[in-house]
Every structure is written in structure tokens, then in C-alpha cells.
A and B are shown apart, each in its own frame.
Chain A
């Protein structure tokens, strides 16, 4: 049914052209509807997925991508509609049923047990689906697969100590051992460092050449165009259109995703601020700051930065260069071993987050459900932790009204302020934190990879609101990101971080991209 024209010489993967015959798809979704209290997450969705294709699912935040994947994977039961695997109806009532049909869902946050080793984790999953496998076999596979993806892993290592990439590799191993024929990848790639991401694409292409089907969920259009054979665009729970490769066109896709909705308005808004008064006093100043990571190694080595009012300092570097620790020091979560931290001229070194927050510093982090929100509590409660009026007593009514107002202002999609934070779509969780922190910040904002799970429009809207606040209210911003493009787009001043050191500080208007790139990988 599928003809492969490409060959894979010497591990190098070329695009495999494919021809669909009229035969049955590997997976067919027909008219699936899924409602949550107050939300129609999927509205009569139909989709075909063929063996040997990478099929990208694109859509703005909250459009229903993850929900669709979870329905296919048996995590949610659809209210209406049907799913067929190779022509046979699948009534997934549980993830186990889906797995037995060769379907594996790779979630955005790895679903592993931190206290157990890699091998134990893999074995545990296999056993619970009735697949027996020897310890030795699994260990060998762990080593082999990890090498394939380019991220070596010790099979005896505790999963809690692994990096994000490595954890996802472990998930992929589970998928491979369970005999997966249909792999659903939910936004994993947005969290991978660029070098790993390319290896990951190669891996997906290999799966494809083995005749497997991949559903790649993303909201990054260029990524989809680069790797996918077909693209399906979703909007508000509906499938808008499925495009063949020859129809791929970034503007067309963008239009389908956002329906032109406000996108141009955001881009039109001047996205740069060029009015820093050189002699104003620094709002945030780090002097020779040294700090260690969890294992006691220095993650920051003599960091020196300063940010003035109305200034955005972009800090760029490849992942794992000390960005996370730097953001933690700035918000007062991590103490420093040496050096000083001045906020508005006041020494706040190791004074904790209370002093920093009291000064009006906002904080947007890359993992909102870890750093900023409690997934089990309601949106109102999560809002009230940072924004509330009055003292010791909370008026739930006015807090919930306030939450609703802020959610409307920032276009956050959720059934109600009573909704638990964890049921929001990935992008909406991020938008919620951004909204809360932008509303809170009076003096400064610390942002660590804030746009990862945001769709294009949300990124633009975030950046434009941020710039507005900077211009209007004189906010100072430390914008830490792995994306050089983004840092170039946002910042007034750019610093490069590499191995815990600041390699240089440049004026955005005069610096050359190559200079920064070189410093990042030096």
C-alpha cells in the first residue's frame, strides 16, 4: 500500500516519498467528539494516519491537539465517533487497549517514576502490559537507543537524575519495546535542544521507513513543514483542513490556524524599544555571582549583569548553560555562594524570594506547573497566591471575578476560574502564568524560556504586551532564552551565557548574529 522510493545510505536519512493507495489507513478517526465541563474540546474530528507517514497536527493553543491524541491513546473516552486501527474498530477503554493495538502516546512531560532506575521503569511498563522482557535485553536496548538519539544514558541511573531529553528517550524505548506501530508525539520537540531535535527527526524518519505512523503535534509551523508528509490543521476543536506536502505554504497554514485573527495587529505594533537613558541606575545588578546546582557543581561562575529601567536584557545560550540557576537566583529561590545581588540599589543577596517579590518582580518560568502553579488547585487560588487584595482574609467571590477579568484580558481558554490548573491546555497554562506575572510586575520581570509552549500568535501577543509594559511602566526585564531569534527580536541588550559565565554583553542594534552564535557554542 505504501511505496518507498528513498533509501537510507549510511545512516543519513533522506525524505521518503510515499504514495497512498486506496487501501486502509493505519489509523482512522471518524467524527470524534469530546466534551469537558464547559468546553467542547473536540468537535466531530476525522483524521487518517497512514503507515510510513509523519503526519503533523498543527493548531493554536487550546485547539484540541492533545485531547485528540489522548482519545486515540485511550486516556480519554470520546463522547461520539469511532476509531479504527487497520480497518478494525478500536474501542479504547484504557491506555492498555491502545497499547495492545500498537498505539503509544509520548506526552510532553515524561510519565516516569523518578525513584526507579531507567531499566526498572521500562520493565515496569512492559510487565504491566503483559510484555515479558529480560533485564539484560532492556539494558542493551537502553544503551543502543540512547546512542541512536544521541543522548547517552546509564541504564542503572535513577530517572530523577536524567535530563528532559534523556527521559523522553526512555519513553521512546518503552514505545519501541511495546511494538508500537503508531506513535503520537505531543510537543516533545519544542522542549528539546536544537542539536537533539535534529537527531530526533532522524529517529522519526527511521520509524517511518520501517512503516510506522507518526502523529507529530506541534504549534511551530516551520517544524511541521520541515518534517511532515501531511499536515492537519485544527482550530477550536475542529479539523480545518488536511494538506498534502505540495500544498504546504507557511502563510496558508498560518491563516488556517489563526483565521487571520489579530495576528497582523500584533505584528504591526512596534516591537522594539529604543530609548534607554544611559545613566539611569540599574534596577537589577548581579556582581560576580557564583551558585551551585543540585549536585554541588558550579552552575554560575562569576555572573555580572545589570539591567536599567525600561530595558530588556536578553540572555541567550544553549540549554544547560546555567540559565535555570540564574533565573532562580534572580527570583530568590536559589542562594549564591559568592557575589552580590542588588535590587534597586538594595543588597538582597540570599534574602529569599519574599524581598524580591515585595519589590514587585514578576517571574515566568519554563515549567509553570513546577515553578509557579499548583495543578491541583483552582485558577482562582493560583491567581490569589500572587495577586489579591486585602490582608489575611480572602474573598473568593471578588478573587474569582478578578481572575475571570484577567483571563479575559489575556485570552486564556478555560471553562471557569474554578477549573483546576492542570486541565488547561499546555499553552494556556503558560499564558495563565504570563498573565498573572505581567499583572503583578511593577519593577521587573524575570522570564526563563517563556514562549516554549506558546503558539505563534501568543508569542507575539506576549512580546508586544511585554514591550508595552516596558515602555509605559518602565519595567526592567531579564529575558532568558535558548532561541537566538527570539532574543534578537525582544532585547535591547544581549548577553551570552556559556557554561555559567557571561561571555559578553552587546547592544542589540550593532551586534552581529555570528558573534553571538560563536560565543554560545564556544
Chain B
């Protein structure tokens, strides 16, 4: 039997490239050049139109900002979990649960009846309740694998992946069953939530909502404060770096894991609730078919790229959203240029892939050395 292991060891000596901005720009540049070379070799796209597309993506920041905000919130949720060595790959499911909580409050709960009036105060209360319940359900969804981890030592990762599917199914069940809408032109989906329950569009920046901007800032700042200025944050950092020291100092490792799971799930649920109230307004059927935008998964990338450092969340979120957006535009501009059988999608993926690989590799080799060991 052949066993292959990837061995990653901490580096003694620093590499030449140290500064993160340099790594960031370098990766983008390499990705750009590499993907341009491939496109040029295949279809001969002229450099001018290629780089104008890229430039336009950077300039049309409003589209970027929307995904940037959601990736920031979700990336923070996952990152705080990573700080405490809780590998939250279940943010996608927690996000869906957040949507369910929100639509329940504004459409099906007793609250929705009391507060359906159009006055600002009751609308605000309704929205707040929806967002909070969304957060609570997300927290619950993350708490389950957390408790299983703590009491049975079973890894949270497979359980969370499974629970993402359960979340999709639960949503589909409700959408097709008890929550099925009446005014849907024959589609299976829920009705739209009432106007007064929707989040507020920022004038001039149609893709943004006040509440989401505020939430992103509040989440980022409070996680930063928790980590650096509370006992809980200190415990989380010890949990992630040396759990034995945490235990020998009289703290219960399990309780800290459970707290981290709850906080992380709460934030992910919050994001889902805001997505529903601010953008989607209803639940679609087959939600697992990419109708969530897979934000919960993409955000893992954001958290991973930030390497357990809360200060890198926003830069990482910028990279990831710029990449997806640019990839999409390249795809559009290549349409018609390509010979049949070669998809434009492939090219956008080449660009995203190259950039991320270069970025990740340089960041990893900055701190670690990686080797391959083959055992026969």
C-alpha cells in the first residue's frame, strides 16, 4: 500500500517576500498574465480588450461591494471559528437556516400579523426580530456539530457538510409544503415578503442596503473587540494555539468550543436573514442548486486566505469578490470569440485558479515549508 502524506512544517527562516500587500498584488498580476497568455494562445484576444475588462471590473465597484459585504460577514463568522480551531464548513447551512428564520418571522409568525402596519417603528421591530431569529437558528445549526464534537470527539467537518444538505432539504420541504406561495405564477416558491419588511436600499448605490453595511461593520468590529478585549477572546486564542495551556489554567476547553460554535453560527445565520430580507425576498425551490450563491462555501476561502488574522478578512473578501466578478465578465466578453467546445467559463476559472494558487502558495511558504512523503 502506498501512503502519501503532505508534510507541512513551520519555517525557521523567513522567505524573501514578506509583505502581504506585495503578495496580494503579485498574485493578481501573475493570475492576470497567466490567464491572458492562455487566452491569447487559444483565441488571440488582444491585450487591450482583456485589460480593459479587468479595469472595468475594478471601476464598477458597486457590484463588487454587494458580494464583498456578504463575504466579509460570513468570512468573519468562519474566521472566528478558525481562531478556536473549530472548522466551520457549515456556514452555508447556517446561512440557509438564517433565511428560514427571517421569512418565518415576517410572513408566518404571530408577529407578522401584529406589525403589518406600515409605520416605521413596527417595521423596524419586525426586521430586527427576523434578523435575530435568523441568527439564533444559525447558531443552533452550528451548535449541534459543536456539541457532538465536544462530547463524542467526532470531527465537526463531515457533520457540518451533511447538515448543509439537511438545511437545503428543510428549506425545500417548507417551500414546497407549508410555506408554498399562492401568487407564484405556477412556480414552486414562497410568496414575496411585504415591502415594509424589506431592508433599505441606499440611494445611488442600488445594490447595497443600509442594514447590511451596518451589520458588516458591527460584526467585524465586535469580533475584533471580542478577540482582543475580552476573556472569551483570550480563551478562544488559547484554544486555537495551545488547548493544553487553556486546560491547565482552569478553563473548560469544551465550553469555549461551544461558545465559538454559537458565535460563528449566529453571524452566519444573520447573513442569511439579511440576504432574504434585503435581496431575495422569498425562498426558491431547489435552493441547493446554487440559489444561495454558495456564499457559505466561498466565505471559507475568504477565512482561509486571511490565515487566522481578522485584519485580512476585508482584503481577502475583496480578492475573492473581484475574482468572481472579473471571471464573470471575461466569460461575457469571450462569448462568440471562442471556437465551439471551449467554454468561456473555463477561462474565468483559469484566472481565478491561478491567482488563488499563487496567493495561497506564497502565503503558506512565507510561514511553512511543504514537502511530500510517500510511504510504501
Interface residues of A (CB under 8 A from B): 74-76, 94-95, 113, 115-117, 120, 124, 128, 331-333, 352-354, 356-358, 363, 365, 369-377, 381-382, 384-386, 388, 391-396
Most buried by B among A332, A354, A374, A394: A374
Q: A371-B248, A385-B238 are in contact. Are A393 and B231 (CB under 8 A)?
A: yes
Contact A113 B230 (CB under 8 A): no
Interface residue B185 (Cβ < 8 Å from any Cβ of A): no
6 closest Cβ pairs, A-B complex: A357-B250, A374-B242, A374-B241, A354-B250, A376-B241, A353-B250
Chain B residues within 8 Å of A370, by CB: 242, 244-245
Choose among A120, A357, A375, A376 the residue that contacts B249 (Cβ–Cβ < 8 A). Answer: A357
Contact B238 A374 (CB under 8 A): yes
Choose among A94, A117, A354, A377 the residue that contacts B252 (Cβ–Cβ < 8 A). Answer: A354
Choose among A357, A365, A394 the residue that contacts B230 (Cβ–Cβ < 8 A). Answer: A394
Choose among A94, A120, A363, A392 the residue that contacts B231 (Cβ–Cβ < 8 A). Answer: A392
Interface residue B251 (Cβ < 8 Å from any Cβ of A): yes
Contact B230 A392 (CB under 8 A): yes
Chain A residues within 8 Å of B206, by CB: none
Contacts between chains A and B (CB distance < 8 A), count: 91
Interface residue B195 (Cβ < 8 Å from any Cβ of A): no
Q: A375-B242, A376-B241 are in contact. Are A353 and B248 (CB under 8 A)?
A: yes
Choose among A95, A353, A377 the residue that contacts B247 (Cβ–Cβ < 8 A). Answer: A353
Most buried by B among A94, A95, A385: A385
Contact B238 A358 (CB under 8 A): no
Alpha-carbon distance A76/B13, docked complex (angstroms): 7
Alpha-carbon distance A120/B237, docked complex (angstroms): 33
Alpha-carbon distance A384/B245, docked complex (angstroms): 12
24 CB < 8 A contacts A-B = A74-B13, A75-B13, A94-B13, A95-B13, A116-B373, A333-B244, A333-B247, A353-B249, A353-B250, A357-B249, A358-B250, A363-B248, A372-B245, A372-B249, A373-B242, A377-B238, A381-B237, A385-B234, A385-B245, A385-B246, A392-B231, A392-B232, A393-B229, A394-B231
- Shortest CB-to-CB span from B344 to chain A, Å, is 42
Alpha-carbon distance A372/B233, docked complex (angstroms): 18
User: Interface stretch among B4-12, B216-224, B275-283, B319-327?
Assistant: B4-12
Chain B interface extent, by class = 20 to 34
- Shortest CB-to-CB span from B68 to chain A, Å, is 29
Contact B244 A371 (CB under 8 A): yes
Contact A333 B248 (CB under 8 A): yes
Interface of A is mostly: loop
Interface residue B228 (Cβ < 8 Å from any Cβ of A): yes
Among residues of B, the one whose C-beta sits closest to the C-beta of A357 is B250
Interface residue B371 (Cβ < 8 Å from any Cβ of A): yes
Contact B12 A75 (CB under 8 A): yes
- Shortest CB-to-CB span from B109 to chain A, Å, is 33
Interface residue B375 (Cβ < 8 Å from any Cβ of A): yes
Among residues of B, the one whose C-beta sits closest to the C-beta of A119 is B375
Alpha-carbon distance A370/B247, docked complex (angstroms): 11
Chain B residues within 8 Å of A385, by CB: 234, 238, 245-246, 249
- Shortest CB-to-CB span from A397 to chain B, Å, is 10
Choose among B231, B237, B248 the residue that contacts A377 (Cβ–Cβ < 8 A). Answer: B237
Contact B248 A124 (CB under 8 A): no
- With A117-B375, A363-B248, A394-B234 given, name 11 new contacts (CB 8 A): A75-B13, A120-B373, A124-B7, A331-B248, A353-B251, A365-B248, A369-B242, A374-B237, A375-B241, A381-B237, A385-B238
Alpha-carbon distance A365/B245, docked complex (angstroms): 11
Choose among B7, B228, B231 the residue that contacts A391 (Cβ–Cβ < 8 A). Answer: B231
Q: A372-B245, A392-B230, A396-B229 are in contact. Are A354 and B9 (CB under 8 A)?
A: no
Q: A115-B5, A392-B230 are in contact. Are A386 and B249 (CB under 8 A)?
A: yes
Chain B residues within 8 Å of A358, by CB: 250
B 230-270 contacts with A by CB, 8 A: 230-234, 237-238, 241-242, 244-252
Chain A residues within 8 Å of B375, by CB: 117, 120
Alpha-carbon distance A369/B242, docked complex (angstroms): 8
Chain A residues within 8 Å of B251, by CB: 353-354
Q: A113-B9, A373-B242, A396-B229 are in contact. Are A384 and B249 (CB under 8 A)?
A: no
Chain A residues within 8 Å of B246, by CB: 385
Chain A residues within 8 Å of B231, by CB: 388, 391-394
Among residues of A, the one whose C-beta sits closest to the C-beta of B376 is A135
Alpha-carbon distance A95/B14, docked complex (angstroms): 12
- Shortest CB-to-CB span from B311 to chain A, Å, is 16
- Shortest CB-to-CB span from B6 to chain A, Å, is 10
Contact B244 A384 (CB under 8 A): no
Alpha-carbon distance A382/B245, docked complex (angstroms): 9
Alpha-carbon distance A375/B230, docked complex (angstroms): 20
Among residues of A, the one whose C-beta sits closest to the C-beta of B375 is A120
Chain A residues within 8 Å of B228, by CB: 396
Among residues of B, the one whose C-beta sits closest to the C-beta of A117 is B375
Among residues of B, the one whose C-beta sits closest to the C-beta of A74 is B13
Alpha-carbon distance A191/B90, docked complex (angstroms): 45
Q: A128-B371, A396-B229 are in contact. Are A373 and B245 (CB under 8 A)?
A: yes
Alpha-carbon distance A113/B12, docked complex (angstroms): 14
Chain B residues within 8 Å of A386, by CB: 249
Chain A residues within 8 Å of B13, by CB: 74-76, 94-95
Most buried by A among B9, B247, B250: B250
- Shortest CB-to-CB span from A442 to chain B, Å, is 13
Among residues of B, the one whose C-beta sits closest to the C-beta of A390 is B231
